[in-house]
Structure 1
């Protein structure tokens, strides 16, 4: 039994939710999002919020139950508050700058890496060594942050590269004579 799936998702003020077939659509102050849930769960809108229940006791239905509830909760949080990921750049000469619709990264290669910023995502560089990725879609924010980190992931000897602000790099000891 899903413990998180049993709890209904409260609809915040200023947000409208509609269920049309297998789609939950949410509209709020920051924008509009939708989620297509599987046939294994049933979703209904009531006075106390959106509740999710499995259609039967199969393994697939129980697995999709909590996930569907969490995805719907992410829709509500996205259209009201939004999501953000903070990245840090460590290394001599490593820096980032936003130029129009592109993120320009100097990561120690012979050329600068140009990353086009996708629609629905905003990237800010308060300092040349900090990148803030934000948007209303949690999956898209995480994917963009992962793609930026992939250009030069942190290495374990000196800690150089792009890392999440909450990430700790396990350091290795260098060669001994």
Structure 2
């Protein structure tokens, strides 16, 4: 039995959840999200909670039970609080600045690197070596942060590059190590 799938999702104040066939729509103060649900699952709203239940115990149904419950939970948290991923630039001369809604990086290349803000994502630049990626869709926030990180991934010898705040970069010794 799915432990995650059995847990009900609490609906906070100001958030409205509606079920339309096999689609769940979540509206809140930060925006609206919708997600399709696996056809063998049913979603019910009772006592300010969203309950996901399944019709049978087939392998795929059991697998999707916990997944769809987690996706609904992520939507509820997204429209009420939002998601943030923080990135940090490490290296001499590595900088970032906000140009309108887009980002412009100086990453040691011969040219500046531009990153356009996708729909639903906002950037915050507290200083020239930190970037906060904000949005209501958890998957989209993580994807955008990963794409930015891939512009100059951290390297293991000096630790230069773009990395998540709090991420530990495993360092290697150089040629001098024997």
TM-score by length of 2: 0.97
> Offset of 1:47 from its aligned partner?
1.6
Counterpart of 2:73? 73
Q: Give matches, 1:14-163, under 5 Å.
A: 14-163=14-163
* Structure 2: gaps of 5 or more residues: none
Q: Runs in 1 of length 4+ with deviation above 2 angstroms? A: none
Q: Is the 8 A contact 2:101 2:123 kept in 1?
A: no
How many pairs does the alignment contain? 177
Could you tell me the TM-score, scaled by structure 1's length?
0.97
Q: Which moved more, 1:166-175 or 1:47-56?
A: 47-56
Give, in angstroms, the shift of residue 48 of structure 1: 4.2
Q: Secondary structure at the match of 2:79?
A: helix
Q: What's the CA shift string for 1:137-169, capped at 9, x where partnerless?
A: 101100100000000000000000000002100
Structure 1 stretches of 5 or more lacking a match?
none
Mapped partners of 1:61, 1:48: distance in 2: 25
Q: Secondary structure at the match of 1:71?
A: helix
- Counterpart Cα distance in 1 of 2:75 and 2:119: 17
